[in-house]
Chains A and B, each alone.
Chain A
C-alpha cells in the first residue's frame, strides 16, 4: 500500500512538472494571435487590437505577441520549427526570411482576398509573383537617405548635393569649417549592410545578381561593385574616429548633440531621433549617384501584414486582416510611424522625409539590393560589409559576395518572383 502511494505521489510530482497554465480564450470566442515586430508602434497596435476586440461581431479575440525586431526572426524560426506559427503576422516582405516562408508554403496567397484591393497596385507589384500571387499586404514604405542638420547647413550656407562628387565636396567643405561631416555606426552589422545595399542599388542593376547566381557574370568584372566599395570606404574618411566603435544609439545621440552634421539611416530612425529631442531642425536628402539623373531613393515595402497557412481560423484571420489593412487603421499607423503609406487614400508621412517622398514621386524608387538575394543572404551581406570596413579588402568583399549569391541562389530560384 505504502509503495503504491509512493509511486502515485512520484508520478503526480513528475506530472506536475509538465502542467502549464494553458491560455484559454473568453467563452465562445475564437482566439487569434497577432505577431508584431515593430516595438516603436506598440501603442498603435494596442489601440487597434483593443478596438477590434471591442467592436468585432464575429466572436474573435485577438492576442498580441510583440517581439523586438532584432529577436523576432529567431522567435519566428523557433515557432515555425515547432509548428506553432501565429495566425496573422506583421512582417517585412523584402527580407529573405520572408521569402523562405513563401518557399516553404507557410503563408497564405492573398491575391483574391477582398482586402487585397486596399493596397496601391503599383506597390503590390513589387512583391507580386509571376503567377500573380502575393503573400503580404503592404502598409508602409521605407526609404534610406541622409539626415542633416538644417540649422547648421543654413548657418554655413551649405547646399544639398545632387551628385556623389558634390557630396564629397560638401564633406570637404564641412571639414574645413571645423565640423564633422558624417556619423556612421558600424559597430553592429545593420548599418554597414543597409548602406552597402543602398550604394549597390545605385551601382549594380537587378539583373547583375541573377547573372552572378547563374554563373553567367563574373562579379570581379562588374565595375559597379568595385565602385560601390570605393564609395562605401570613401565616405568613412569623413567621419571622426573609428566608426566600428559607434553603435546605433550612440550615433543618434552624437548627431542630436551636434557632433556631426549628417547621419545616414532609414526613415525608421526618425521616431528615435525625434525622441532624443534634437535642438535643431532635421531634413533628409537621398544618397546622390554619380550623375544627378541616376539618383534614386532606395527603399521598399516596410510594414506589411500576412496570414500563416497553419492558422486554424482562416475566416477570422481574414476579418482581422480586413480591419488592420483598412484605410483608417493604416492612416493611424502612418500618423505615428511617419513613413509613407501604401494603402489607397492614406496620406501623410513626416515633414522631415518629404524630400525623399517628393524625389520618389518624381523619379521612382530603387529597390534594396538584398531583395535580390536568396534565404540567408541578408546576414551574410551584413558580415561582409562590416568586414570591408575592418580590412578594406575590396577583392575579398567581392569574392565573398559571389560565394553568398552562389550559396543562396537555389532558394532564390524557388522564389517565383
Chain B
C-alpha cells in the first residue's frame, strides 16, 4: 500500500521540482549568501574579503541610524496595517450590499492597484508639490500649505497616504471575497434569532474573515517592512534621513556607501524581525478562527 502511495507521489514531486529549483536559486541561495557575507568585511567591489565574525552585527546594534530606521519602519508598518486593512474592510462591507452601480465602484476602487509603485509615487510627488499646498492655503492649514514631503515630521504620512491609496484596493478585494464566502444561512439564522447588525458582524463576519485577515495582515506587514519604491520615488529617505526605512538604509549601505557586508547583517536582522512578527500574528489570529 505504502509503495503505491509513494509511486503516486513521485510525479507530483517531479512537477514541483522546477518551482522548487527556482525558489532555491532565487530565494534560498541569495539569502544564505547574504548571511555568509554578513560575517565578512566585503565592500561590494573587492575581489577579496576577510571574515570579521559578528563585527557587522555589533556595529549595527550601536548605530543610531539603524534604530531610527527601525522606528520609522515599525511606525509605518503599524499605520499601514491598521489603516489600509481597516479602510479595505469598510469598503468591502459597503460594496457587499445590494447597491446600484456596485460593479462600477468595485472597478473604480481597484484602479490605483494597477499602477506601478514608482509611477504612483511620481504622480503623487507632483500632487503634493503643486495641488495640496493650494488646498492647504484655501483651508488655512499651515502644515498643508507646503509640500509635506519636504517636512521631516509629515513626510511619513505623505508616503503612507500614497501606499494606502494604492494598497487598500488589494485588501478590499480579498476581504470582499471573504465576505462573499460566508454562508448566508448563518447570518440569516442569526438575524431571525434577533442578533443586531453589530452582533452579526462581531460574532459571525469577523470569525469567518480571520483566514482572510491572516493573509492581508501578513502581506501588509511585509509590504510595510520592505517599503522602498515609494520612498525612493518621493523622498529618497529625506528630508535629513527622516523617511529612511530599513530597506532604504540597507540599499544605501550596500550600493551607495560601499558597506555591503553591513547591509547584509542588517538584512538578516530585518528578516528575523519579519519572521517573528508574522508568526506571532498568525498564532494570535488562529486562536480566533472559525473552523468550517
**Is A376 among interface residues, defined by CB-CB distance under 8 A?**
yes
Q: Mark B11-34 against chain A: 1 for CB-CB distance below 8 A, else 0.
A: 100110110011000000000000
Partner-contacting stretch, out of B38-46, B50-58, B103-111, B196-204: B38-46
Task: Report which of A189, A247, A379 forms a contact with B125, defined as CB distance below 8 A.
Answer: A247
Q: Are B18 and A242 in contact (CB under 8 A)?
A: no
Q: Are A391 and B240 in contact (CB under 8 A)?
A: yes
Residues of B within 8 A of A105 (CB): 47
Q: How far is the CA of A375 from the CA of B262 in the complex (A)?
A: 14
- State whether A390 and B236 are in contact (beta carbons under 8 Å apart), knowing that A81-B45, A104-B45, A380-B257 are contacts in the complex: no
Q: Mark A370-391 against chain B: 1 for CB-CB distance below 8 A, else 0.
A: 0000011001100100111111
Taking CB atoms and an 8 Å cut-off, the chain B residues in 164-192 that contact chain A are none
- State whether A100 and B45 are in contact (beta carbons under 8 Å apart), knowing that A250-B129, A376-B257, A390-B239 are contacts in the complex: yes
Task: Report which of B22, B129, B133, B240 forms a contact with A17, defined as CB distance below 8 A.
Answer: B22
Q: How far is the CA of A64 from the CA of B251 in the complex (A)?
A: 26
Q: Contact residue range for chain B?
A: 35 or more
**Is A13 among interface residues, defined by CB-CB distance under 8 A?**
yes
B243 CB, min distance to chain A CBs, angstroms: 11
Partner-contacting stretch, out of B149-157, B210-218, B270-278: B149-157
Task: Report which of A10, A77, A101 forms a contact with B18, defined as CB distance below 8 A.
Answer: A10
Q: How far is the CA of A376 from the CA of B256 in the complex (A)?
A: 7
Residues of A within 8 A of B147 (CB): 187, 242, 244-246
Q: Are B255 and A245 in contact (CB under 8 A)?
A: no
Contacts between the two chains (Cβ within 8 Å), count: 114
**A244 nearest in chain B by CB position:** B150
A25 CB, min distance to chain B CBs, angstroms: 26
**Is A106 among interface residues, defined by CB-CB distance under 8 A?**
yes
Taking CB atoms and an 8 Å cut-off, the chain B residues in 247-263 that contact chain A are 251-252, 254-260
Taking CB atoms and an 8 Å cut-off, the chain A residues in 218-259 that contact chain B are 241-247, 250
Task: Report which of B15, B43, B152, B255 forms a contact with A375, defined as CB distance below 8 A.
Answer: B43
**Is B242 among interface residues, defined by CB-CB distance under 8 A?**
yes
**Is B235 among interface residues, defined by CB-CB distance under 8 A?**
yes
**B47 nearest in chain A by CB position:** A104
Residues of B within 8 A of A100 (CB): 43, 45, 258
**Is B207 among interface residues, defined by CB-CB distance under 8 A?**
no
Q: How far is the CA of A397 from the CA of B256 in the complex (A)?
A: 20
- State whether A379 and B256 are in contact (beta carbons under 8 Å apart), knowing that A100-B43, A189-B238 are contacts in the complex: yes
Q: Are B239 and A244 in contact (CB under 8 A)?
A: yes
Q: How far is the CA of A100 from the CA of B43 in the complex (A)?
A: 9
Residues of B within 8 A of A388 (CB): 240
- State whether A383 and B150 are in contact (beta carbons under 8 Å apart), knowing that A14-B18, A17-B18, A81-B44 are contacts in the complex: no
B200 CB, min distance to chain A CBs, angstroms: 48
Q: Are A245 and B256 in contact (CB under 8 A)?
A: no
**Is A30 among interface residues, defined by CB-CB distance under 8 A?**
no
Q: Are B45 and A77 in contact (CB under 8 A)?
A: yes
**Is B146 among interface residues, defined by CB-CB distance under 8 A?**
yes
Residues of A within 8 A of B133 (CB): 245
Q: Are A77 and B239 in contact (CB under 8 A)?
A: no
Task: Report which of A13, A73, A74, A390 forms a contact with B152, defined as CB distance below 8 A.
Answer: A390
- State whether A14 and B241 are in contact (beta carbons under 8 Å apart), knowing that A242-B151, A376-B257, A380-B257 are contacts in the complex: no
Apart from the given pairs A14-B18, A242-B147, A245-B129, 5 other A-B contacts in the complex at a CB distance below 8 Å: A10-B18, A74-B251, A77-B255, A375-B257, A390-B240
**Can you name 12 A-B pairs with beta carbons within 8 Å?**
A77-B260, A80-B44, A104-B45, A104-B47, A242-B147, A246-B150, A247-B125, A375-B258, A383-B241, A387-B241, A389-B240, A391-B152
- Interface residue ranges, A against B (CB under 8 Å): 3, 6-7, 10, 13-14, 17, 73-74, 77-78, 80-81, 83, 96-97, 100-101, 104-106, 186-189, 241-247, 250, 375-376, 379-380, 383, 386-391, 411
